[in-house]
Amino acid sequence: MKAKTDYMVTSLGIILLAAGLYLVKALPDPQGMLLALPYIFIGFGCGIFGHGMGNIISRKLTKNAPDIQKKLEIEKNDERNIAISNRAKAKAFDMMTFVFGALMVSFALMRIDMTAVLLLVFVYLFVHGYGIYFRMKYDKEM
């Protein structure tokens, strides 16, 4: 069943990629949202295709080696590796705070379109709200 899902995900990626490439050529003078839509399709199509193909290739390579498959599963679910991964994510989140803040200030000083600055502010506040929510959730669990 999992293999069937991977093939469907890969097919969806190819379809999105093809639709994006078609729209790049088919739209003579795009305006508004149609200006970015083909490239969004191409980006999502490439990402989804890569994810699906990675799973397919990984499954085919480990199909005849159950010992390697078991070892990879243990490493993926090892508590120490999970803790290291979570600490790395926390450090990246801390760095993102300063980078997003500097980017927003520099965009405002360069008088970039207000829509772009407000989108950055919205994403900044959304991500931090998400982080605060989970911080409070984990504090209640302990």
CA nearest 70: which of 80, 79, 62? Answer: 62
Same domain, 16 and 62: yes
The domain boundary residue, chosen from 55, 76, 97: 76
Same domain, 45 and 72: yes
The domain boundary residue, chosen from 41, 59, 76: 76
Percent of the chain clearing pLDDT 70 (strictly above): 98
Same domain, 27 and 93: no
Same domain, 60 and 1: yes
Percent of the chain clearing pLDDT 90 (strictly above): 25
pTM: 0.59
**pLDDT tens track for 39-72:** 999 999 999 999 999 999 988 888 888 888 888 8
Same domain, 65 and 90: no
Same domain, 3 and 58: yes
- pLDDT at residue 32 tops 80: no
Residue 78 DSSP code: -
Same domain, 55 and 96: no
Full residue range of the structural domain in which residue 127 is found: 78-141
Say how many domains are in the chain: 2
- pLDDT at residue 103 tops 90: no
Using alpha carbons only, give the angle 40, 42, 47 rounded to the nearest 5 degrees.
95
107, two tokens: 């965009």
Same domain, 44 and 95: no
